[in-house]
Structure 1
Amino acid sequence: MRIFFTLFFLLIAINLRCEDFVIKDYRVNVKVYDNGEISVNEEIDLDFKVHRHGIVRRIPLFFKTLSNRNKELNVYDIKVSGEKFSTNKKGNFLYIKVGDEYETFTGSKKYVISYKIYNAIEYLNDLANINLILIRHDWDVEILKGTFYLYFPRGYELKKQDVYFYSGNFEKSIDYVDYFIERNLVYAKIIRPLTYNESVQVSISVPKKLINKSSFLPLKIFLKENKVIFLPVITFLFLFVIWWFFGKDEMISRIVHYELPDDLNPAVAGYIYNDKADNRDLVSLFFYWAHKGIISIEEVEDPLSIFFSKKDYILRQLKPLYIDAKPFEWVIFSELFPSYVNVIRLSSLKNNFFDVMKRAKASLEDYISNTQLYDKKSFIFRKIFEVSAILIFFAGFYLGLKVEIYWGISFILTALIVFLFGLIMPKKTDYGKKVYQVVSGFKDFLEKVEKNKIEKMLSKNPEYFDDILPYAIALGIADKIANKFSGLFKEPPQYYSYQGKKFESMDNFLISISLIISDLGSFIGSSSESNFTKNGFFEKNSSGSTGGGTGW
């Protein structure tokens, strides 16, 4: 008895579902073009008996050919006349959801759905075979009337033996479709209503030469349906225009300079040379302060390293930082030497000093933006680009996982373009150009100067090496000048020692300088910047067109 009532209510539920609406007329117009493209236009007249939002059309994206091969379809240019709709690819099907989620209705309703299909033609010997589903079997309603028009390219008159209507398996012909042929047109209609699980499919064979497979159409379809791949190109062009008018520096001639102005901070010099704040700009401050007698630097062995020797550095404050020090200098110095602390081991700061350096970089950026070196509007654009690049990158990562991989690639490439334009965006003022000219000219001099010229410079200023070392570090050429100064003098800098002792010779200090700078960088910054000296399922007999649907 329990089983009887279960089946009874199940049958009632199925019947109620099937009678939610009825398709009064289902008209399908198909046009096959000589390039292999197929356009489909469906006019569906329905009568809703209960309140519904609309319908969902389901179109297969794969079909099995007569030679038992699986072919993937391209379905594109989807349009629904006068209705809201959305599309979604899921499994082996494309779903077209038609209707408004905030509105329902009953009674008569007509939907006009059009789309195009490519790759639905199978070429066998001298024939081109087209398999189309005109009405799919999974409409869960009664279809009272159905008419079909199939147009083919002119140049061949279709014959009865070219056309075959079937349902489900190819071998299963149907007797509920009547059709006639007039030259290149096939007109067909159902002669009785279709019930659930009945379909209308057609196979038509024409000479192969009538339909030439286009070699460029697949690319055209892909580009048309995936316009998102143009996003990086459009973004590049758009940002290039902005950069051209608001960020592009005019050509700056480079003139050799033997020295830099006394009031030019090495971190500022490093920034204006490459238009960004990096760790080596801030590392240069350690040697800048040391040369001014504010701190001393001692290289020691880390007492916590047991099996392998590991370097550490002890910084001693010899005198207070000068009053007119820049804000970014105070950020670092106050962390190194808070109140009543004159000696600090760098390893003790390793866990939190990275955050200090981030704040110092931000302070350097803020200081530069408030000077007369750069146009202020260009800095605003730079900040916008930086934030936008981050947002676009994460959007691309999400879309690549949730939508399509090429969406993710396109967005991530766009984020990279936005980020790179952010790097080159700051535009120098006339004053900034003059400072850049001096800094770049000084860098060129240090890279190209001969030893005899250096000897002359040292004879005039014995501390010339100590003067220029902080700037060479900020400009990324400390290793180069170390090689140029090798053998020219004996005394290493007084501010630097090893295990409490001075270096035995200047050459030993010069040999170690690259490692010293790199070690300091690894203590205060991220590892990536530690080197500062170098710069559904498959349906067996589905065909190449349309599909089924339901209400929602």
Structure 2
Amino acid sequence: MRSPRFNPVFLLLWLVPVLAQAQDFGVDHFSVAIELHKEGYFEVVETYDVEFFSPKHGIYRDILTSYTIRAADGSEAKRQIRISDIKVPGHKFEASGNFSQRMEGNARIKIGDPDKTVVGPIHYEIRYRVDNAFLFEEDFTRFYWNLKPSDWVAPFKKITFSVILPEGVEADPDQVFLYAGPVGSTSPTGEFGIRIAGGTISGTSREGFGSNYGEAVTLLVNLPKGSIAEPGRLWLFWSGYGWVPILLLLAGGFYKVFLKYGKDDPSPMVVTYFPPENMDPAMVGFLINDREDTSDLVSLLPYWGNRGLLEMEEVEGEGWFAKEDILIKKLADLPAEAPGYQKIVFDGLFHGGESEVRVSSLKNTFYLTMNMAKKELAGAAQKYYDPKARRVYWFTGGGIVLALLVLLPTFFNFWGVVAVLCALVLGVALLILNRHMVKKNPFGVKLYSELKGFRAFIKTAEENRLRMLLKESPDYFETTMAYALAFGALKQWAQKFENLDVAPPTWYHTSGGFRSMHQFSRSFSSTMERTSTTLVSSPSSSSSGGGSSGGGMGGGGGGSW
């Protein structure tokens, strides 16, 4: 197979921007001095003798802080080093903080004055501390650092370095490796003279040496095991997973508060056959699950129909391809003592003196009325709840939000994105659960026991029992169907009366009438589903919208600006 033909145009397109930047300045002499500390960090002093060929503000130095470490067994692990205590004596500079290093995976030191430019020779000195960069292997502790990283957009003519080992530690010459050249070069370089003496490793590039963009100088030293303090297991767990116990404490604290202020006192179920006196199905639906559902307010329609306030009729839709519609006719006004949420819905249906309304005409508009009624219903229900629980609800919700505001940047700073995502998930889950921080008062608990029993009866009632109830109260089905709707069991409830010779309600009809309870239950259940969907619909919104050269830590580079 023929090898691809070399195309100099592609090489030129790659070289032009690199050479253009490289021609702005060069590094006549670069020196780096590193002091290793047995506590597990090292300090770096970099000095640059720079020659600017055109006016520039200064230089910038980039140091990679996020790495993927490959172990001897082939497994990989993420490593985040930290650059701190940054100093640039004699020059203005800006430096990335710990948060920015986490976010960007890079520490940038930008040196120079934005209001001034320089030309000619300039001397720079950069000092910083590096934490969490030693590699702890089974037999060695490795110092693996790019003395000169590969992404410097400038030629380096001379490089010197020195590495001071911790007191009492001597380097084995057979365990010191220096690599230079294009990234990936695995053969130790011969372009440096290296000296190992008195606990110091030093080196100087030979005459004629040069290092350009894409080339690195990397030092690998295998230090004796134990010469650098290795983090203990507890510290390793904390540094990797310290966010876990914090989130567990947060969840445990919430659970403890919930047990006291959110969980209702024991309420044994009391089976009843009728809804509570003087309580409409909207309030019943709210109390059974502690929230204002759409079905709670929609259940007022059959409730009002049974009381002679309105009637509903299936009619043909307007237009050629319109679906069947529901016409709601007003027969009487609400009683003056009706609760506020009933008045909001009723007046919203028949506003402006109208006596009838098509359900289809409420699409994308009536949701505002429903939202107002939901708030009013929730307010009216508070007389059944412990007022302390309501206050705890607000305090707990605020506490969760405040905790997230503190924990999210802290977690990102110390543990990264995974910890932040887990904290977000837990925070959202707790805020959702906090909605149930609504403990009922003794009267509410007693009422809840009855409602549970009534709901259970609606779901499990036997035909013989219903037959007896119909003898006592012939309109039993009509008086209970609205409550079954609030419980989400209307269809199931209506089906239980199919064999009991019960006439469908007269306030709901079609042009053809209903021949059976079965026919009515199917029709009315479907109507209520469509009506519920329409009453809460809102306008839709749209949007767019080994080792090798360059293989160690300390990757990055720099340039001029």
**TM-score normalised by structure 1 residue count:** 0.72
For residue 237 of structure 1, what is the amino acid of its counterpart? G
- Residue among 530, 550, 553 paired with 1:545: 553
Residue by residue over 1:363-403, the C-alpha shift from the partner in whole angstroms, topping out at 9 and shown as x without a partner, is 2123223xx2112343345467778999979x99xx99xx9
- In the superposition, relative to structure 1, how do residues 190 and 318 fare at CA in structure 2: closer, same or farther (>3 Å)? same
* Post-superposition offset of 1:425: 1.2
In the other structure, the counterpart of 1:348 is 361
Match of 1:479 among 467, 491, 494: 491
Looking at structure 2, the residues matched to 152 and 76 of structure 1 have their Cα atoms a distance apart, in angstroms, of 27
5+ residue gaps, structure 1, are 1-8, 32-37, 528-538
- 2:178 paired residue number: 165
Q: Distance in 2 between matches of 1:411 and 1:333?
A: 44
Whether the 8 Å contact between 1:178 and 1:188 is mirrored in structure 2 is: yes
1:322-361 matches, within 5 Å, as 322-361=335-374
Structure 2 counterpart of 1:542, one-letter code: G
Structure 1: distance between partners of 2:246 and 2:299: 41
Alignment of 1:308-457 (within 5 A): 310-369=323-382, 372-382=383-393, 406=418, 409-457=421-469
Residue of 281, 286, 290 corresponding to 1:275: 290
Per-residue deviation at 1:279?
Answer: 0.8
Contact 1:64–1:70, Cα closer than 8 Å, also in 2: no
Deviations 1:322-341 (A, max 9, x none): 11111111121112111321
The answer (yes or no) to whether the contact 1:131–1:201 under 8 Å persists in 2 is no
1:44 CA displacement: 1.9
Give the C-alpha shift of residue 221 in structure 1. 6.0
Which amino acid is 2:127 matched to? Y
The answer on 1:201 being equivalent to 2:205 is no
Change (3 A) 1:339 1:173: closer
Equivalent in the alignment of 1:26:
33
CA contact (8 A) 2:495 2:518 kept: no
Q: What is the distance in 2 between the residues matched to 1:54 and 1:374? A: 66
- CA 1:266–1:29 in 2, change beyond 3 Å: closer, same or farther? same
2:503 — aligned with what? Answer: 491
- Distance (Å, rounded) in 2 between the aligned partners of 1:257 and 1:474: 16
Give the superposition deviation at 1:457. 1.1
Matched letter for residue 202 of structure 1:
L
Q: Is the 8 A contact 1:131 1:203 kept in 2?
A: yes
Using the TM superposition, give the Cα deviation of residue 131 of structure 1 relative to its aligned residue in structure 2, in angstroms: 7.7
The Cα shift of 1:269 comes to 0.7
Does 1:14 find its partner at 2:18? no
Code of the aligned partner of 2:186: F
Task: Report the residue type matching 2:291 in the other structure.
Answer: K
Report how far residue 418 of structure 1 moved.
2.6
- In 1, Cα distance between equivalents of 2:258 and 2:239: 29
TM-score scaled by length of structure 2:
0.71
Residue 518 of structure 1 corresponds to 529
Q: Secondary structure at the match of 1:339?
A: helix
Q: Which amino acid aligns with 2:344?
A: V
Query: Aligned partners of 2:496, 2:140: CA distance in 1, in Å?
Result: 77
Tell me which of 504, 511, 518 is aligned to 2:515.
504
For 1:143 and 1:364, the matched residues in 2 are separated by: 80
Match of 2:43 in 1: 42
The 3 A distance-change label for structure 1 pair 497 and 64 is: closer
Alignment check: 8 A CA contact 1:25 1:143 kept: no
Residue of structure 1 in register with 2:63 after alignment: 58
Q: Distance in 1 between matches of 2:191 and 2:278?
A: 97
Q: Which residue in the other structure is 1:532 paired with? A: none
Q: Cα distance, 1:458 vs. partner?
A: 1.0
CA shift, 1:520, in A, is 2.2
- Structure 1, 267-276 or 319-328: larger mean CA deviation: 319-328
> Paired residue for 2:8?
none
* Superposition map of 1:451-470 within 5 A: 451-470=463-482
How many residues were matched structurally?
496
SS of residue in 2 equivalent to 1:259: coil
Change in 2 beyond 3 A, CA 1:231/1:519 = farther
Residue 344 of structure 1 aligns to which amino acid in structure 2? V
Distance 1:474 1:149, change over 3 A: same
State how far apart, in whole Å, the 2-side matches of 1:497 and 1:543 are. 81
- Tell me the CA shift for residue 298 of structure 1: 0.8
1:76 correspondence with 2:77:
no
User: 2: CA distance between counterparts of 1:248 and 1:100?
Assistant: 59
Q: State which of 298, 317, 330 in structure 2 corresponds to 1:302.
A: 317
Say if 1:513 and 1:11 are closer, same or farther in 2 by CA, change over 3 A.
closer
The one-letter code sitting in structure 2 at the alignment partner of 1:363 is E
- Structure 1 Cα separation of the partners of residues 175 and 312 of structure 2: 92
Q: How does 1:183-332 map to 2 (within 5 A)?
A: 187-191=200-204, 200-203=217-220, 224=239, 233-304=248-319, 306=321, 310-332=323-345
Alpha-carbon distance between aligned partners in 2 of 1:134 and 1:341, rounded to the nearest angstrom: 82
Residue by residue over 1:421-470, the C-alpha shift from the partner in whole angstroms, topping out at 9 and shown as x without a partner, is 13311111112112212211211222233221111111111111111111
Name the CA distance, whole Å, in 1 between partners of 2:111 and 2:378. Answer: 50
Return closer, same or farther for 1:152/1:316 CA change in 2, 3 Å cut-off: farther
**Do the aligned partners of residues 61 and 348 (structure 1) sit closer, same or farther apart at CA in structure 2, a change above 3 Å counting?**
closer
The answer to which of 342-351 and 405-414 deviates more is 405-414
1:173 shift after superposition:
1.6
For the 8 Å contact 1:135–1:200, the answer to whether it is kept is: yes
Identity of aligned residues (%): 21
- After superposition, the Cα gap between the structure-2 partners of 1:97 and 1:526, relative to the gap in structure 1 and judged at 3 Å, is same
Q: What RMSD over aligned residues (CA atoms) do the two structures have, in Å?
A: 5.1
Q: Distance in 1 between matches of 2:35 and 2:60?
A: 17
Instruction: Give, in angstroms, the shift of residue 546 of structure 1.
Output: 2.7
**Equivalence for 2:162:** 147
* Offset at residue 82 of structure 1 (A): 8.3
Distance 1:491 1:63 in 2: 75
SS at match of 2:97: strand
Match of 1:35 in 2: none
Query: Would you say the 8 A contact 2:218–2:552 is kept in 1?
Result: no
Contact kept? 1:298, 1:496, Cα under 8 Å? yes
Q: Deviations over 1:221-245 (max 9, x none)?
A: 6973576677754542342233233
Greater mean alpha carbon deviation, residues 372-381 or residues 41-50: 41-50
Q: CA deviation at 1:295?
A: 0.3
Secondary structure class of the residue paired with 2:351 = coil
**What is the CA distance between 1:175 and its match in structure 2?**
4.9
Q: Distance in 1 between matches of 2:350 and 2:400?
A: 37
CA drift of 1:477 comes to 1.8
